Structure 1
Amino acid sequence: MKILIVEDQRKLGLFLKQALIERAYTATWVGSCAEARDALCETNYDVIVLDLGLPDGDGLALLREWRSAGFNEPVLILSARDAVEDRISGLDVGADDYLAKPFSVEELLARLRSLLRRQSAVKETVLQHQGVKLDLLSRTVHLNGQPVDVTSREFALLEIFLQNPGRILPRTLISEKIWESHYDVDTNLLDVYMSRLRAKFEVPLGKALFKTVRGVGYQLI
């Protein structure tokens, strides 16, 4: 599941991103309205965590803009504005939930899980390809019916491929979605994780699943 964090406080934004990644979600952090618009143009997200006090605009206006444009994904407002009137305004504009700062990270994660469960009623939550089955809700992976143990990062990497079968994924794209920076990929850490996926899936299957596109990235075939 992909989560977009729109939060102008760098420290908090990176903290939330890391907390989500550690729980096997794919998280992206941006710090302004403009960056949020760009992020949504580039890819789809399953849920958005939205701060209201942004440096280049108001979060409520941004949310109103999204809803007017037909964006229906769940949005959780995370804001220091904790008056009842503020909560009502946020929900009336189109937010699906509202959490005031300061907050408990565990409560935030619980609320996100709740929003994702609601989305599961209308979204595909099981991804399958060539005998590989990945369940986004239970966070489990099976190969031809047999469970496969994967790390949270391997799960996130596999999720990206299963969401884009046949598509050549550039190394930079994978880096942005899985790691904090491009540096890790430059040190061949991505190749290490791809070797692990191949050992866990290609070896038992006896056939190739992942194709290396030299100078570009990888492809699920």
Structure 2
Amino acid sequence: MRLLLVEDSPRLRDLLAESVHQAGWRLDSVATVDAAHLAIRAVSYDLALIDLGLPDGDGLDLIRDLRRSGFIPPILVVTARSSIEDRVAALDGGADDYLVKPFNHIELLARCRALLRRRAPQYIESIIIGGLSFDPASGIVTVGDEPLSVAPRERSVLELLLRNAGRVTPKQIIESKLSEFGGDISTNAVELAISRLRRRLAPFDLPISIETIRGIGYLLREKRQDG
């Protein structure tokens, strides 16, 4: 899942980025209306978080413009404006939910998950392969009925491999996925993430394998069952 945050407070952008990454999602942050329009033209987002008080315009006008231009993903308003008039105007203007600052980040993530669940089923349904299940909306990985603890970076790589199960995922694509968590990645970041995933899955003896395709990338494959 890839989210867009339109918020002019650098501190809040940093705090929300940390929470969103821990949930296993990607987050792009911009501070202005103009930057938001540029980002949305360049990237396909699953959810937008929009502040109403922006330095170059009003977030409500941005929401209205996005809806008029055909922007379909859910929009969650995050703002200090708490009046009922502001809430009604935002919801009538195209927002799907409204959260007043200051807010608890746990509640923010819960509201994001609720909005993501409303999307078309093909985007949010769980991916299940060989007894391993991944829920894109919650970021929860399970083996059978047992939750599996996977770090956010490795979880993001696992989602990519699961979505491409049976096909080779190029190493460059995985590197791009890892870089979305911010900061420079090491030259062996992909190998390290794959190694950690293999160690986490090894105790369960699942009928799947993560194979190295030398010089190209990695392949998650469901093993054939004898008999």
**Offset at 1:107?**
2.2
Deviation digits for residues 139-190 of structure 1 (CA, Å, limit 9, x no counterpart): 1244xx696834132212212344456553446522332x221x2x135333
**Offset at 1:115?**
1.2
Shift in alpha-carbon separation, 1:15–1:171, aligned structure 2, 3 A: same
Deviation digits for residues 68-114 of structure 1 (CA, Å, limit 9, x no counterpart): 12211110001122222211111111000111222222222222222
| Count of matched residue pairs | 213
Shift in alpha-carbon separation, 1:213–1:66, aligned structure 2, 3 A: farther
**Offset at 1:28?**
2.7
- C-alpha distance in structure 2 between counterparts of 1:118 and 1:207, whole Å: 32
TM value normalised by structure 2: 0.75
Q: Please tell me the residue identity of whatever aligns with 1:180.
A: G
**SS of aligned partner of 2:27:** strand
Mapped contact 2:63–2:95 kept (Cα < 8 A): yes
Mapped contact 1:33–1:56 kept (Cα < 8 A): yes
Shift in alpha-carbon separation, 1:131–1:63, aligned structure 2, 3 A: same
The alignment-based identity, stated in percent, is: 33
Map 1:22-101 → 2, pairs under 5 A:
22-101=22-101
- C-alpha distance in structure 2 between counterparts of 1:53 and 1:211, whole Å: 49
Contiguous gaps of at least 5 residues in structure 2: 221-227
Mapped contact 2:76–2:96 kept (Cα < 8 A): yes
Shift in alpha-carbon separation, 1:124–1:105, aligned structure 2, 3 A: closer
- C-alpha distance in structure 2 between counterparts of 1:89 and 1:193, whole Å: 45
- C-alpha distance in structure 1 between counterparts of 2:195 and 2:12, whole Å: 33
Mapped contact 1:47–1:75 kept (Cα < 8 A): yes
Match of 2:223 in 1: none
Mapped contact 1:51–1:78 kept (Cα < 8 A): yes
**SS of aligned partner of 2:67:** helix
Match of 1:119 in 2: 119
Match of 1:140 in 2: 141
Match of 1:196 in 2: 196
Mapped contact 1:23–1:152 kept (Cα < 8 A): no
- C-alpha distance in structure 1 between counterparts of 2:189 and 2:121, whole Å: 36
**Offset at 1:3?**
2.2
Match of 2:2 in 1: 2
Shift in alpha-carbon separation, 1:213–1:37, aligned structure 2, 3 A: farther
Q: Please tell me the residue identity of whatever aligns with 1:135.
A: D
Map 1:126-205 → 2, pairs under 5 A:
126-128=126-128, 133-137=133-137, 139-142=140-143, 149-153=148-152, 154-163=154-163, 166=167, 168=170, 169-170=172-173, 173-177=176-180, 179-181=181-183, 183=184, 185-186=185-186, 188-199=188-199
Shift in alpha-carbon separation, 1:114–1:171, aligned structure 2, 3 A: closer
Q: Please tell me the residue identity of whatever aligns with 2:51.
A: D
Q: Please tell me the residue identity of whatever aligns with 1:176.
A: S
- C-alpha distance in structure 1 between counterparts of 2:201 and 2:91, whole Å: 44
* RMSD, aligned α-carbons: 3.1
**Offset at 1:197?**
2.7
Mapped contact 1:162–1:220 kept (Cα < 8 A): no
Quick check: 6-15 or 53-62, which moved more? 53-62
